[in-house]
Structure 1
Amino acid sequence: MPDILDDLRADLDAAFARAERKRARRGWTFGAATAALASTAVAVVLLAGGTTPPATAAEVLRAVAGVAQDTPAPVPRDDQYYYVRSRTTNLSMFAGVDPKHEHAVTLVEADREIWQSLKRPGQMTVKVIGKRPLTPADAGRRQGPDVAVPGGGRVGKQHHYLLGTERLSRAELLAYPTDPQVVYDRIRAHVGSGGDSREGQVFDAISSALRERPAPPALRAALYGALALTPGVTLAGTVTDRAGRTGTAVAFTEVGVRTELIFDPRTSELLGERRVLVEPARSGIDAPVGTVVGDTAYLERAVVDEL
């Protein structure tokens, strides 16, 4: 424990020194310095597994918001592409019409790339690399057609960015409010009519904004701050994503499935997502509690000029 405390003290001292240098250079506020110190402290405690009382989801998200504020996050010009490469695993559930036969539920693993632009046609490529039954019982059941992985091909011009149901131009995205409470209220006012709860829709909207869409640093920080205000968001702790990277996860549970967002507390990057079964009867998925029914690792994001 002394070694951990020494490391924590050293990290805090280093963060404070960085904050002082930034404040001297550009009039940094005390609030921003505090966010940097908090983010360092939370990251060290989470990764070191210290014995201090566990942080809450809100505390962790506010800390990572402070990191996002100072982490570069370019937004493409309208004629550029936002590129994302990921590896996904999704359920493939075949609803057969023959009641005499139970059809298998499988997990389909794929590599996915997508290029999106506001002014130019984009592209998506999907390559299936594996398939396995969800449970041992599914191994002996009839296999149906895969429906989990959409085919690749051309992606039309996006024309706008979506935040909830709001359609935003690049200029509107750059000018979007950055106060977490304002962002939360605005997203909550612009979610669809589906879903099990309004809070779940807000969680989904913020997840989508962090997943495969660009956001300037101040907005990324505000999105994490808005997530901290969302009722029902819990801390899942330190986890390892499917690519073997260590991150911190927050979660929201709805319809028997816990959706986890995994991010790097030191960079604010969204590393991946995972969906875990917690109430099989409510979810309609016949598998044991704790079964991972889907996950995604985001491996690369970039602004590029060509496909």
Structure 2
Amino acid sequence: MTEKMWTEEELDRAIGDQPEGPAFTAEARERALARMLAAEEKPRNRWLVAAAAVTLVAGSLIAVPALWSDDSGTTASAAETLRRAAAATTAQPRPSASQYQYVATHSWDLGSATTGTGKPLSVLFHNLNEVWIPTDRSAEWLERRAVLDRRWLVGSEELAASEGDGGLFAEDASTKERRGPCGDFPGMNPDLGGDPDWGRPCAERVGAWHEPNPRFLASLPTSPQALYDRLWTDSRDDAENALSNAGHVLASPEASRELRSALYEALLNLPGLRVVEAAANLDGRVGTALGVSGEKTRDDIIIDPGSGRYIGTRRVLLQPAEGVPAGTNISFSAVDSAVVEHAGDKPAK
């Protein structure tokens, strides 16, 4: 049976009472997009999308206009934004030998399924993932994951209980805590993704753009042109991949000021980069959105050029998918970090 998708107006009404400021992990974003686009070719009875069709900024679904021209070079406005960010970038606090790097990711994730009789179900889940990373990365890390809330868009608790939830509530709302050295937490599957670092001693792990550990960050040049050449080659000459890879490094609390500044300047060379929104709101923070477009989606990074602060990323559909209109934000990522004294500590607000 084909699943029902909801219009922008219906979703606006359903989520109008939601709080501002969703944020989404890179992993959830990539899974979401792959599943959405795959649905055009292969039907299925359940999909889980990180904020697919849902942008909870100001409590409504947002369609972001494309503001770029047809030429392939970086626009003057994008270049000026990047130059200002590069010049304004400052150093980030670094933990001492006994302290921890705290990283928190909030996300609103949309889960959809069907009951045993084919009735549609759709729920928004508010997730929080917190990680405490010791300065000695081979020591024990702490991770806490929790589902903080859920809001029904279609269906109800009673309907799911009586006819089955289709796997929608496979994970309960209690906080899950895991500990492990070097971020190797119990239950992680080393076969997923074929990560070449799996099984290596912590000090020998090389890292990657999507997993920028200190060794990987130290391997990156701080000359903007050399850094761009490395980024472009590693991204297989693909502008969307390059922007995504750059975003992981810009988001890393372990990336130096020099590296982040050089990366902003390196992105001046990225073909097709445009300012797509001058005042983009992500997680309550306002910055300038820079984007590159592919065949079906546009990837944006959002930065504050006045402070050099990297705010996050988002992905926008350029073509309709599963009834979601073109121009819809389908995912966000925003990560907050701080230095704390002990594992389990929260930064002062």
TM range (shorter): 0.5 to 0.7
Structure 2 residue aligned with 1:38:
none
Please state whether the residue corresponding to 1:187 is helix, strand or coil.
helix
Structure 2 residue aligned with 1:59:
80
1:64–1:161 distance in 2 versus 1, CA, 3 Å = farther
Q: Distance in 1 between matches of 2:212 and 2:283?
A: 33
Whether the 8 Å contact between 1:200 and 1:252 is mirrored in structure 2 is: yes
1:302–1:165 distance in 2 versus 1, CA, 3 Å = closer
- How does 1:128-167 map onto structure 2 within 5 Å? 128-132=147-151, 138=154, 143-144=165-166, 145=168, 153-154=178-179, 156-157=181-182, 159=202, 160=205, 162-164=207-209
Number of matched residues? Answer: 238
Structure 1 position 262 matched with structure 2 position 302: yes
Provide Cα deviations, 1:233-263, integer angstroms capped at 9, x if missing partner: 3212233434322211112334523332222
Provide Cα deviations, 1:89-128, integer angstroms capped at 9, x if missing partner: 234355x798x73654544322332223422221222222
Provide Cα deviations, 1:171-210, integer angstroms capped at 9, x if missing partner: x63463211121121123334x8xxx73222212111112
Once the two structures are TM-superposed, the CA of residue 288 in structure 1 deviates from its matched residue by 2.2
Structure 1 position 286 matched with structure 2 position 323: yes
Letter of the aligned partner of 2:128 in structure 1?
Answer: D
Q: Distance in 2 between matches of 1:261 and 1:292?
A: 13
Structure 1 residue aligned with 2:339:
303
Structure 1 residue aligned with 2:255:
215
State the TM-score, normalized to the length of structure 2.
Answer: 0.56
1:163–1:63 distance in 2 versus 1, CA, 3 Å = farther
Whether the 8 Å contact between 2:126 and 2:150 is mirrored in structure 1 is: yes
Whether the 8 Å contact between 2:212 and 2:248 is mirrored in structure 1 is: no
Q: Distance in 1 between matches of 2:104 and 2:289?
A: 20
Letter of the aligned partner of 2:229 in structure 1?
Answer: D
Whether the 8 Å contact between 1:161 and 1:173 is mirrored in structure 2 is: no
Please state whether the residue corresponding to 2:222 is helix, strand or coil.
coil
1:75–1:114 distance in 2 versus 1, CA, 3 Å = same
Q: Distance in 1 between matches of 2:324 and 2:170?
A: 19
Once the two structures are TM-superposed, the CA of residue 227 in structure 1 deviates from its matched residue by 2.4
Q: Distance in 1 between matches of 2:340 and 2:298?
A: 34
Structure 1 residue aligned with 2:129:
112
Alignment gaps of 5+ in structure 2? 1-74, 184-201, 344-349
Q: Distance in 1 between matches of 2:83 and 2:332?
A: 25
Alignment gaps of 5+ in structure 1? 1-53
Structural RMSD (CA): 3.6
Whether the 8 Å contact between 2:243 and 2:301 is mirrored in structure 1 is: no
1:277–1:167 distance in 2 versus 1, CA, 3 Å = closer
1:199–1:242 distance in 2 versus 1, CA, 3 Å = closer
1:168–1:243 distance in 2 versus 1, CA, 3 Å = closer
Whether the 8 Å contact between 1:87 and 1:110 is mirrored in structure 2 is: yes
More helix by share: 1
Letter of the aligned partner of 1:185 in structure 2?
Answer: D
Letter of the aligned partner of 1:116 in structure 2?
Answer: I
Whether the 8 Å contact between 1:89 and 1:294 is mirrored in structure 2 is: no
- How does 1:126-275 map onto structure 2 within 5 Å? 126-132=145-151, 138=154, 143-144=165-166, 145=168, 153-154=178-179, 156-157=181-182, 159=202, 160=205, 162-164=207-209, 169-170=214-215, 173-174=217-218, 176-191=220-235, 198-254=238-294, 256-275=296-315
Structure 2 residue aligned with 1:21:
none
Whether the 8 Å contact between 1:75 and 1:215 is mirrored in structure 2 is: no
Deviates more, 1:157-166 or 1:83-92: 157-166
Q: Distance in 1 between matches of 2:212 and 2:273?
A: 26
Once the two structures are TM-superposed, the CA of residue 303 in structure 1 deviates from its matched residue by 3.0
Whether the 8 Å contact between 1:74 and 1:215 is mirrored in structure 2 is: no
State the TM-score, normalized to the length of structure 1.
Answer: 0.63
Structure 1 residue aligned with 2:186:
none
Q: Percent identity?
A: 28
1:248–1:128 distance in 2 versus 1, CA, 3 Å = same
Whether the 8 Å contact between 2:287 and 2:302 is mirrored in structure 1 is: yes
Q: Distance in 1 between matches of 2:310 and 2:180?
A: 23
